[in-house]
Amino acid sequence: MKSVMIISSVTFLLIFGGISVMSLQLSNQGSSGEDLSPQDAAASARLLHEVAQERDRVQCDREYLAGLRQSQAAREVIMSQVHAEILEVIGKLESQQGVFIEEQEVAASRLAKMYEAMKPDKAANILASMNMEVTLAILSRMKERQAARVLSNMDAGLAAQLSTRLSLQGGA
């Protein structure tokens, strides 16, 4: 925008400067009764031609900048639409994540009750073969007394790992 203003100002100065020079020359020649010399006429014609070229360049610059503004406005509209779509997808994912977490909580609680009802040695064998995260989720939901019995029937190394992770979680 600054470049358009600068170019416009320069063009304005050139046009009116040229007109002022030509009018001054014409008034000087008119008062002295002399006609324009061929050199003065050529210089005036050259000056007018340069001013016309500068005016054309400024007009081209204005048209180019107008095109850029339209392009930028279109990009902004598209970006705002994409942003809205992304926010919508994020909202859906967050709600689905909440449902998934609730389902995991319910499943872990249900499994904890099932393993509490089992004999500790049988529960320990099954839990030892499961994924560490699932085993932690189940043990953390079991009653402390029953979880301790299950851990005591596990391999000492695995029981130590599970106990450490449970203590970090604030579980059993």
Question: Rounded distance, CA 142 to CA 112, Å?
Answer: 5
Give the per-residue pLDDT at 172: 44
* Confidence (pTM): 0.49
Residues listed for the chain: 172
pLDDT, tens digit, for every residue of 45-90? Answer: 888 888 889 999 999 999 999 999 999 999 999 999 999 999 999 9
Give the per-residue pLDDT at 171: 43
Give the per-residue pLDDT at 29: 63
pLDDT, tens digit, for every residue of 6-56? Answer: 877 777 777 877 777 777 777 766 555 455 577 877 888 888 888 889 999
Residue 5: pLDDT band (50, 70, 90) is confident
